[in-house]
Every structure is written in C-alpha cells, then in structure tokens.
Structure 1
Amino acid sequence: MFKFNIENETSPLQAVILGTANSNGPTPKLSECYDPKSMEHVKAGTYPKEVDMIKEMDEVSEVFKKHNVTVYRPTIIENYNQIFSRDIGFVIEDKFIRANILPDRDREIHAIDHILKTFNSDCIFELPEEAHVEGGDVMPWGDYIFVGTYSGDDYPDYITARTNMDAVMALQELFPDKMVKSFELRKSNTDAKNNALHLDCCFQPIGTNKAIIHKNGFLVEKEYQFLVDLFGKENIFEITKEEMYNMNSNVFSISPEVIISEKNFTRLNSWLRAQGFNVEEVNYSEIAKQEGLLRCSTLPLIRE
C-alpha cells in the first residue's frame, strides 16, 4: 500500500495522476460547455482537436518521466472529457479528498478508482454533499490551506463557481491544525477575461517563497493583499489580464527548482529563469482553450 503525502505545492514530486485526452469526444455544444473560454472557441470554430491535445499531454508525461516521477492515467471513458484530473480530487497531508464536482462530470472520479485502490482506503474522504469543491481551488501551503471560493447569493447562477463556503468549513473541520484561508474569486459565465475559474487560474505558489498572481482575479482587495504581504512583493510575479486569460498562473511544480510551463509564456519564463528556476517548456496552448492548463490537468498524490 502506498501512502498519500502532500504538504505543499512544490516539494519534490514522486507520483501524479495526469489526465487523458484520449476519446475526448466531439466538440461540445455551447450548452454543454462549463466555462466561457470553451464557449469562445466553440463559437469561433477553434475548439481543440483530440489528436493535438493527446500530443500535448504526452509531452508533459515525458517531462515527468525525465524527472523520475511515477505517472498514473485514468481509465478511458469513451467520448468523455477527462483532461482536468485536478478537479476530481486532491491530497492534503495523508488524506485524499474526493471532490464534489459538477454532476455532469461525476463519472470522472470513478476512472481513477484503480489508482486509489493501491492506497490505504482509510485515508480517502468525501466532504458532505452540500460542500461543493474542486481541486483547482485548493492549495496546501505549509500551515495554510488556501481555498478559492464564491459566496455571493447568486452562486447557483454561476456554472463557473465551483467551490462554496460549506467546503471551506468542511476542510477546516477535517484539518483543525491548519489555517484554512478562503479567497473570493471573480466569476463570469460569459467573459473569460473576467473569470477566475479556480484559485489556480489567478494565483500559484512556486519555489519555497515565491508566487504568481493576478490582482483582478480576486474580488476582495485585502485578500489579494494578504498574499502579497505573505510572500513579499519582491517575490511575486504579477500577471496581466491577458496573461491570466492565457493561464500563466497555471504552471506546475515538479520540485522547488523545476517548473513545467507553456512555451508561449515568454515574459513569465524569462522571470522564472532569472529567479534560478529550471523551466521545462511544453506545448499546451490547445489544452488552454478549455480554461485549464498544467496544474488543472495534474493531480499530485505523493511529494517528498
């Protein structure tokens, strides 16, 4: 039996679930899209092709293998989008939490049952039904668990609002020794440039003390300021609205020194290298058309 272990976002990675684009299904109808960016590309006729997305994900798999990371893949469900494995669950400490995700996507979680069976079943948890949560909103970081949320009365009106305050409270109960810090995110069903689908779409810690952030992704300025104060302005890379739209904060850390990033993120990648990071550049621009990138398509199970 393996043991789950995730204390933060960047410790050396040992095992990860990478989603799959195989048998991704046809281009969805507008009514079947879960986010405004996918809608944009459906309307424009530029929605990504399965063959291109498979190629991009294989590229990431090769980077993991290069760094001696064990890569698990979901069981393929025919004609079903299984790219964004981060949404379906997450690990904090030695616990795996199954996410309560959009009902249309609940088959995804069962496609990783064969992987979870190799871990201790006593460490697999599910939050109460009313606690909506997706892994893109949850970030363990030392004493903190950062959680992106939306608590407006119009929460049910937003298909882009994925994690609620019930989940924040449930996580605090499950991890009483941690400080669960929530952040209100800007939501839009129709405008991808004004929509932070998850916390990792506008913020991510990297290295041991640095972060990537986009101020406008946060609804409450003092919550954004909390992160600036915590990491220090000199340790933060501020991304523009266009860079957030292109998912610049959604890179992925293999270790405190090694980051997988999209090759078109030229400004970010130059800054990362100037900070001493080893940047593994990959092609991921087709995946990005669905408002998700590298962190969204990976579910870390074990870090050192």
Structure 2
Amino acid sequence: MYSFQPNCWSEHDELKVVILCAPSKLDVPDLTIAENVGWSATVNHVKAMENFMELKTTLENVGVMVIDYSKELPNDVETVSEQLINRYFIRDLACVLGNSIFLGEAGSSLRRPEYPHAHSLLEKWFPEKFNKQPSTALECGDVMILNKDAVLINLGMRTTLEAVESIKERIFQEGFSEIAIIDLPRRSDTLHLDMNCNVANANLVIAKNFMRYFPVQVFTAQTSRFEMTEQFLNHHGFDVYWLEKYNTIPDINFINLDPETLLISKQATKKQFTNHPQLQKKNLIEIEVSELEKGGGGIRCMTLPLVRK
C-alpha cells in the first residue's frame, strides 16, 4: 500500500513518515471517571480533536507524511476503536528499530484492544518488515533508540524482562550492538521511559536527575555488564542534561523533527531548552496539546515514527 519502507536508526534524524491516531469520540466528563481511567483531569472531545489537528497539521506543514491509522480501520473494529480513550498514544503499540517493525504487547487491559487493531494494519502495509509480538508485556514508550549502536529499554509498569529477552536477538540482528536495560520506579509519573528521559540532540539526552543513581545492564550479542546510566550514555557519545525541576509530560515528552528542530508542548518549561548551550540554537516549534496531555502522555507518546533519514 505504501511505497516507502520503515527505517529508524535514531530519535533525532529528520522525521519523514509518522503514524498518529485521532482521539476517541468520548468525553471524560468528571474527575471520578478521570481517576478511574488513570487520567489527570476531565477531557472534552472537541478540544482534544482541535489539539490533534494542530499536531497533525504542524507535522504536515514541515513536510512529514502523516498516517492517521483510525481512518484505515475496517468497519468491524471501528465502533470499538472510536471508544478507546487512550488510542491516540500510538507510540506504545509498536516501534521501528533499524529496518524492522517491533510490536508491543499491552501491559494494561484498558489498552489491550488497540494493539491488534494497529498491528493488523502494520502487517498489511509492511508484511516483510513485521515481527511477531513479544511473549509478555512490552509497551514501546519504554524503548528508545540512542544511535545505530545502542537501544535503551525500561522495565517498568508496562514492560517485562521476559518480553525484552524475547526480542533481544532480533534487535541485534538489525545491527544494533548494545541493548541497555534500566528498571525505573513504577509510578504514574514514571510510567514509561520517555516520561523520564529523551534524546534532545545527536549528543545530548535530557533526563530526570534521579536517573543518575540507576545502573543499567548492558547486553551485547555475547556478553553482559553493568554500568551507571550516565556512564553508558557517555560511552555512546551523549552528555546528560540532568533536570532537577520538571513538569514531567511537557518538559520531557517531545520529539525531534530533524537535527535542528524540536516539537514541544506549549506547556513546556521553555527555559529548560534555552538555558542549555547545546539547545540554544534549536528551532522550537510549540503546539497546543494540553487537552491530550491530560490522558497521561505527551507528544512523543502520540507519535510513531516509521521513517527517519
């Protein structure tokens, strides 16, 4: 169906193709419902759609091809899908590592229906690039490409060691030489790896300062060792910009549009970017996604890159 092939070797190269998903048609009208579904506040569907269209239009305006998978669903699942309130957090469902699509497995029953919906489309579009699901829960917000050599994966509330072990060999087969596993606190504000750190430049990672105390287990195809998080990142050419104060979702959950441009939330603490010498010359594109952020995720959570060049 599509002429391109999935290709992602970093978090910062130019974004060419991305999957999004429009928010569901349901409001979250009161705080009791919001609390029970794990959201931080009430959400109005009309405002959420306005946020989504701003995200989609902004990406298209800078030359990114956008695929809204909600428009590709067959009729027999569309009725269920349009009522799944978390479905726009597309990042968790799959990820492209190298030239292959690696599938996620839901770590929450509330999100379980989304995964086969998205996976069936990916299998139809890219049958030769399609990898089977891991053995147990793995949500791809816990997976981050550092560069062509290294991938960082978090074992948290939604990702298990067994799942990582079941896909580890296939990641090495793609050409990555090291996989580092970190085990971060299991809380709503540390739900996935990309709520704790993010790649902001070819040689810079932004991270919450508590992560400096955590070791990582580093696997190669033949060996295993332990390093501290900063040591591992330095080993792969990254300085770490440790944040002592932060607003978790908007300050950390952003995406790179290209090596010079970051797409950030209007709710982000802008001085977090402008105060750092490696980020001062970055082009910051700010968009309004505050209604969508109430669901517990940010811009990175809402985007699934298929091609970066």
Q: TM range, normalised to the smaller chain?
A: 0.7 to 0.9
**Paired-residue identity, %:** 21
Residue 223 of structure 2 is matched in structure 1 by none
| Structure 1 residues 238 and 286: alpha-carbon distance in aligned structure 2, compared to 1, 3 A threshold | farther
1:108 shift after superposition: 1.4
Indicate conservation of the 8 Å contact 1:215/1:224, yes or no.
no
Q: State how 1:127-206 maps to structure 2 within 5 Å.
A: 127-130=133-136, 132-141=137-146, 142-150=148-156, 161-176=157-172, 177-178=175-176, 179-188=178-187, 192=188, 195-206=189-200
Task: Output the TM-score relative to the length of structure 2.
Answer: 0.80
1:187/1:217 CA distance change after superposition, 3 Å? farther
Q: Is the 1:261–1:269 contact (alpha carbons within 8 Å) kept by the matching residues of 2?
A: no
1: CA distance, partners of 2:166 / 2:120:
26
Residues 204-283 of structure 1 aligned to structure 2 (within 5 Å)? 204-216=198-210, 220=214, 223-227=228-232, 229-230=234-235, 235-244=239-248, 246-265=249-268, 266-271=270-275, 274-283=279-288
TM-superposed deviation, 1:224: 3.1
Tell me how far apart the structure 2 counterparts of residues 223 and 291 of structure 1 sit (CA, whole Å).
28
Change (3 A) 1:206 1:274: closer
Secondary structure of the 1:21 match is coil
- Tell me the alpha carbon deviations over residues 230-264 of structure 1, each in whole angstroms, 9 at most, x when there is no partner: 4778x4332235422x4411101111111100123
Match in the other structure for 1:108: 114
Maintained 8 Å contact 1:72/1:115:
no
> In structure 2, the residue corresponding to 1:133 is in which secondary structure?
coil
What amino acid does structure 1 have at the position aligned with 2:262? I
For the 8 Å contact 1:212–1:236, the answer to whether it is kept is: yes
Normalising by the residue count of structure 1, what TM-score does the alignment of the two structures yield? 0.81
Task: Tell me: CA distance 1:181–1:269, structure 2 relative to 1, closer, same or farther (3 Å).
Answer: same
Structure 1 residues 242 and 175: CA distance shift in structure 2, 3 A: closer
Change (3 A) 1:271 1:6: same
Specify every segment of 5 or more residues in structure 1 that has no aligned partner in the other structure, as ranges: 151-160
Are the counterparts in 2 of residues 20 and 73 from structure 1 also a CA contact under 8 Å? Answer: yes
| TM-aligned CA distance change 1:241 to 1:231, over 3 Å | farther
- d(CA) in 2 for partners of 1:243 and 1:30? 20
Displacement of 1:135 after TM fit?
1.1
Whether 2:47 is the aligned partner of 1:52: answer yes
1:254 alignment partner, SS class = strand
